[in-house]
Structures are given as C-alpha cells and as structure tokens.
Structure 1
Amino acid sequence: MPAASRALPLRLLDALLYSSVWLATAAAAQTAATLRLWPASSQGVAGLHTVVLVFAATLLTYNLDAALPFKHSQPPGTSGRKAWQQRHRPAMLGLAGTAALTGAYLLLTDGWVHFLPILLPLAALAIGYSWPVLPWRGRWRAIREVPLLKVFLIAGVWAAVTVGLPALALHRPLASALGLLGQRFCLVVALAIVFDIRDYSRDGAVALRTFPVLLGINGAKLVSLSFLAAAMALGLGREASPLAVVLPTALCAAVIIAAQERRGDYFFALVTDGLLLVQAAAYFIF
C-alpha cells in the first residue's frame, strides 16, 4: 500500500516502530525495572538520567545500524520496515544525531567519563555489530557474521546496558543484580532467535549461520524456548513476583511458537519487541 494512502494512525505507528523509538522505550522501561532493585536510591536524578541515557543510546545504535549505506542499496522487497527506513533515512540520521548529543551531555555532566573503560567496549560491540571490523577469511566482516554469535552479542550488550549501567550509576555492586542480569540475557537471546527466523531465507542465501539456518525453524524454536525457560527459572529464583515472571513468559512462548518467516513487520517490530516492554511493565504492576 503506498505511503500516501495509509491512514494517519498507521503512518504514526510505522514511524514509532521503524525509527526504533518503540525499541528504545522498551530498553528504557527495562532499565527503570532494574532500578527497582534499589528503590531507596533510584528515585533521584541519577536514576532518571540513566533511563534517558539508555533510551538515547538505544535510539542512536539502532538508527545508525538501519541507516547504513549498504542497507539502502538493497531492494526492500515486501518489507514495509525496510521501505520505510529507506524513505526516511535523513530523519533517522537526525534522530541518531539528537540521541548522540543527548547521550554525550549526560555522559559529561553525570560523571560517566570515569566509566569509559567499561563503556567503550560496549560501544565498540554495538558499532561492530553491522560494520566490517573483523578480518576473517580474506575479507573484513561484521561481528554479526560470526556463526551463532549474533543473538548472544545482542543479548550481552542489552543486559549490560539495562542492568549494568543502572548499577554503575547508583554505585551498586553488580553482584547484587546477577540474577536479573542472567534473566535479561536469556530473555533477549530467546527473542533475538525469533528475528533470525524472520531472516531465515536471507541469512541462508548469504551463508550466515544462525540457529534457524543450522537447525531449521523448529529446531531454532526449541533453542529459543529453552532460553526462555532459563529466563523464567532465574526470575523465579531471585524471588521476583511469580505473576511478573510467568505471565510475560507465557506471552513470549506464544510468540516464539507462532513465529514464521512469512509473518508481517508488525508481528516482529510491534509484538516481539513489545514483549520487552511487557516484561518490564509487569514488575511495576505485580
């Protein structure tokens, strides 16, 4: 359907999803959920600034990734997401620039420069995800091209940002959040495999070895459900509210089981990414 003929609510939804504002909101919500581990000290400026910093960093990372030049030479095919991002590349770069300025301001004014030895490797991993930075088999490759590494890289950075940064900001030992760190890692691995199911044919065509390519769709779902079960066990093991753990887990399991390559963009961008927001919201409700 041509963009001009789409109703305004759908155009706004496309902008929310495909500009990564939805995903950045999920990252900010999960950071806020982490801060609930230390309620006495998380209500002040440091906690709020950390949530904003994570929002800005997520928006910057994903918009820069989506705006990569080589991605705009690829035909969008039937993907409304890719077509939207190709049409709105200047706006996405503008969002990335605004996010970069916001993040830089917070880093400088809140004393994050003292943590640069920790932050720089995270930034390098985020940048190297899609950029060719690794010499491998005669040419430069992105980190995401290393077999099976992609989902673990995404989950590791996501957990480090949404759990580790709040601990740093509040000067809390990371050991006090290890259960949540493991839970967050396993949850994101489970959902990242769903996106590999979306990219099954494309990854197979370029010999990118992901779980679906190596194990098939059903095998990848079993791996995803295994990580989801581990996330639930870790959540219950750290004495979180059972409803806050079990209900989001059930929703995640339903999405994993329903995942198919042919599913539309809204299934992945709205529903699957939205599960991260649901999981965070559950800790405020229950």
Structure 2
Amino acid sequence: MLPGTLRELSGPKRALDVVLYSSGLVAAAATALTGATFLFWHAPIPARLGALIFAATLFLYNLDSVLPYKYRQQAVLSARKRWVLRHRRGLLALALGSLAVAVVLFVVDGWWHLRLFWGHLAAISLLYSLPVVRRRGHWRALRDLPLLKMFLIAYVWSAVTVWVPALRLGKALDEPAVLVLFARRFFFILNLALIFDIRDFTKDQLSGTRTFPGLFGLRATKVLGLIFLAVSAVLVPPGVSAAHGWVLLLPTLLAGVILWFADETRPEYYFALLADGLMLVQFAVAYWVA
C-alpha cells in the first residue's frame, strides 16, 4: 500500500477512535434506545430529553474511563485504554462539560420533581465505578463485587431507556406494557454486558473481578447469553402485531451472532462498534415498524 493511502486512512481511523473511545457511540446508543421506546408508544423523543440522556451518558462513561485507580490495577492495557491514557485531560474536560449540560437540561426540562428517581440511577452509576466498598483489605467499586456488574448495567440502562420515556408520557411503571418492555430490554442488555465481560476476561482476572466468563468459562457464558436473548425475544409487549414481532427479532438475532463469535482477542472495534451499534439497530427497527 502506498504511503499516501496510509495517510488518507489514518484520518478516518482517528475520527472513528474519537467517536468510539470518547463514548460518543455509547451516548448515541443510549439516546437511540430511549427513542426506540418513544416510537413504541408512537411518540417522538423530546429533543431536550434526548440531549440530557446523551450528555449524562457522556459524563458517566468518560468519568469511568479516566479514574486513576483503574490503571493501577491493570497489568495489560488494551489499545482503547492506551488511547484513553493519551487523552485523559480532554476526556475529563468532556466529562465535566457534559455534566454541566446535563444539569442544566435536567432543571430546564422539568425533571426536578423526579429527582429521587434520577438520583438513585445516578448513585448506582457513580458507585459502579468509584471504590467505596472495602473487601479483603482493598477498596472496591460495585462493579468489582462478584457477578454484580452486568445486573447493575442492565438495570440502569433499562430504567433510563424504558422508565424515563414512560414517566415522560404519563404512564405508570406497573402498566403491563411498561413491565414487559422493561423486562425485554433488561435481558437484552444482560446479553450485551456478557459480551463486554468476554472482552475484559483477562483484565477482570488480573484485577480480581469475578464475572461469569471468569467463573464459568466462555462457552457457558455464551450459552447463558443466548438464554437471556431467548427470554428477551418471547417478552413481546401487548399491542405488537405478529409481523412487527418478527421484525423486532432482528436485533436479537444479530446480538446472538456477535455474542457467539466474541473473543477477547478480537479487535476493539468488534466490541466498540458492533456490540454498541446493536442499540442503534434497535432504534432503526423501531422506526421502521412505528
């Protein structure tokens, strides 16, 4: 390949790294999943709410990525972590700027009366990353407690992307459609969390974090993920036609393929682009059938 061609490719690759490793795609995915829930109820996602979720996700994920204790506990740094190390100041500035935007939108958009609901999600998200639990002489974050990591992720993501739209539209959280949609989303996110546990297999082993791949092996983890997807697939909310139900299976099938071929030796893009990109597929399918 010619040197000029290499230079041309380096520009798009750098741009892609910025989007993926600064959590831009993750923030877009959270917004897209929320939008998919609004579309299920035949309503557009309010612009300020979408911006709030995008900014809050940027803050939490970039804060998590720049915490210093995480680098002290890793003997091996991935390409993604090396990129983050080189750009920690910029990511910290992005996190703080995103927090400021999220706070302003939270107040302006009139969510203050639900501050306890939002507060418990924020508390779980922060304690997920911050070392606040002392275990065996070491301070640990909630994510380091055995097998808790993926359930925390699934709960927060499902609460934000299902309960927040329901509350905005004046729906009770115990309505059958809300309950089923929450459970469907919960099991779908559990599968995605297992994919990222597979990615972090060696890192979690070195840091002492007990996850399903570390305790039960990769094959058992993949089988468990397929079970989660099967449960998600059969949880069809009331009012969905059979034809739409089949269309909605597309993200589930893609998630199963990505899980089955997941391996920690795969490039970072496999996880950062394909796995997170599944949530954009969820939105695209919801838009199609709406």
Normalised by the length of structure 2, the TM-score is 0.90
Query: CA shift at 1:137, angstroms?
Result: 3.7
Whether the aligned pair in 2 keeps the contact of 1:133 and 1:140 (CA below 8 Å) is: yes
Residue 252 of structure 1 aligns with an amino acid whose one-letter code is A
Please provide the CA RMSD for this pair.
Answer: 2.0
Task: Out of 56-65 and 201-210, give the one that drifted further.
Answer: 201-210
In the alignment, structure 1 residue 208 sits paired with structure 2 residue 224: no
Task: Out of 74-83 and 211-220, give the one that drifted further.
Answer: 74-83
Gapped runs of 5+ residues in structure 2? 1-5
Whether the aligned pair in 1 keeps the contact of 2:49 and 2:109 (CA below 8 Å) is: no
Q: State how 1:46-125 maps to structure 2 within 5 Å.
A: 47-73=46-72, 77=76, 79-125=78-124
Q: State how 1:245-260 maps to structure 2 within 5 Å.
A: 245-260=248-263
Aligned length: 279
Gapped runs of 5+ residues in structure 1? none
Query: CA shift at 1:16, angstroms?
Result: 0.5
Query: CA shift at 1:66, angstroms?
Result: 0.3
Whether the aligned pair in 1 keeps the contact of 2:75 and 2:206 (CA below 8 Å) is: no
Whether the aligned pair in 1 keeps the contact of 2:65 and 2:84 (CA below 8 Å) is: yes
Residue deviations 1:59-111 (CA, integer Å, cap 9, x gap): 11100000111234567856221111111112211221221111111111122
1:280 aligned to which of 269, 275, 283: 283
Residue 272 of structure 2 aligns with an amino acid whose one-letter code is A
CA–CA separation in structure 2 for the residues paired with 1:87 and 1:203? 22
Look up the SS of the partner of 2:134 in the other structure: strand
Residue 86 of structure 1 aligns with an amino acid whose one-letter code is L
CA–CA separation in structure 2 for the residues paired with 1:51 and 1:77? 36
Partner of 1:16: 19
Query: CA shift at 1:238, angstroms?
Result: 6.0
**Cα distance change of structure 1 residues 109 and 236 upon mapping to structure 2, 3 Å threshold:** closer
CA–CA separation in structure 2 for the residues paired with 1:215 and 1:282? 34
Normalised by the length of structure 1, the TM-score is 0.91
Look up the SS of the partner of 1:140 in the other structure: strand
Task: Out of 242-251 and 157-166, give the one that drifted further.
Answer: 242-251
Whether the aligned pair in 2 keeps the contact of 1:158 and 1:188 (CA below 8 Å) is: yes
**Cα distance change of structure 1 residues 179 and 64 upon mapping to structure 2, 3 Å threshold:** same
Q: State how 1:212-227 maps to structure 2 within 5 Å.
A: 212-227=213-228
- Percent identity reads 43
Query: CA shift at 1:255, angstroms?
Result: 0.5
In the alignment, structure 1 residue 271 sits paired with structure 2 residue 270: no
Residue deviations 1:233-261 (CA, integer Å, cap 9, x gap): 11376626124322111111110110111
Look up the SS of the partner of 1:121 in the other structure: helix
